[in-house]
Amino acid sequence: AQTVTQSQPEMSVQEAETVTLSCTYDTSENNYYLFWYKQPPSRQMILVIRQEAYKQQNATENRFSVNFQKAAKSFSLKISDSQLGDTAMYFCAFMINQGAQKLVFGQGTRLTINP
Amino acid sequence: GAGVSQSPSNKVTEKGKDVELRCDPISGHTALYWYRQSLGQGLEFLIYFQGNSAPDKSGLPSDRFSAERTGGSVSTLTIQRTQQEDSAVYLCASSLTGGSRREQYFGPGTRLTVT
């Protein structure tokens, strides 16, 4: 079975700072995807960034980037120049590239950006 | 275009009553997922529909839970004889399948409260 662990229940930084959220996962599969989702108070889950396991290059999306360490099974999210609108729950998720392709989620990290 | 919609947004029911939760996926998306998010927790997979194939029900917590998807579009999640532990946010997601487009797009969820 696959598991995803987010070891930081809460984090808080000042606006414009850089913050890194940690995520580790456990799997015996080799073909999978990793995701970071953002959930603001509205409850809407929003995809922030995705990473294919076969790609060595780390994914980036504007201020968001990941550090994907496949051997260590680590997938951290870095938010640069943080903004007040980044305040949300952040979930790391894992998906095997076969079958139901269901997402397995971590417990989440509550990130607060302070003015 | 329109995103995933869910109704009702909030539902309060008495213990022992049956409830139905509705999900309208994005037009053209053949895959549909239901997840449950208990208070302060990550998302837990419940059930997966893909086209006309038999659904993957491996995540349903008990036989009180069932779901159907009519005409390959709208889905209804039914919980019979609700219990207090069923209180959670129920999220629906849809996705295209095939190729590399495997992002799941989430609806806003239904918050279920069992009193």
**Which is more confidently placed, A102 or B87?**
B87
pLDDT in tens, A16-67: 999 999 999 999 888 899 999 999 988 889 999 999 999 889 999 999 999 9
Reading the block at residue B12, the tokens are 């309060």
- Could you say which of B42, B45, B91 has the minimum Cβ distance to residue A102? B45
Asked if A43's CB is within 8 angstroms of B109's CB, the reply is yes
Instruction: Give B94's contacts (C-beta < 8 A, 6+ positions apart).
Output: B4, B23, B25, B26, B29, B31, B32, B33, B104, B105
All residues at 6 or more sequence positions from B83 whose CB lies less than 8 Å from its CB, including other chains: B15, B64, B114
In tens, the pLDDT along B62-104 reads: 999 999 998 879 999 999 999 999 999 999 999 987 545 578 9
Count of Cβ atoms closer than 10 Å to residue A10 Cβ: 10
pLDDT at B40: 75
- To test the contact with chain B by mutation, choose from A10, A36, A44, A52 the residue with the greatest count of B C-beta atoms within 10 A, namely A44
Predicted local confidence at residue A1, as pLDDT = 77
- pLDDT for the residue numbered B20: 98
Measure CB to CB from residue B42 to each of A43, A100, A105 and give the nearest one: A105
Model confidence pLDDT, tens digit, residues B47-64: 999 888 889 999 999 999
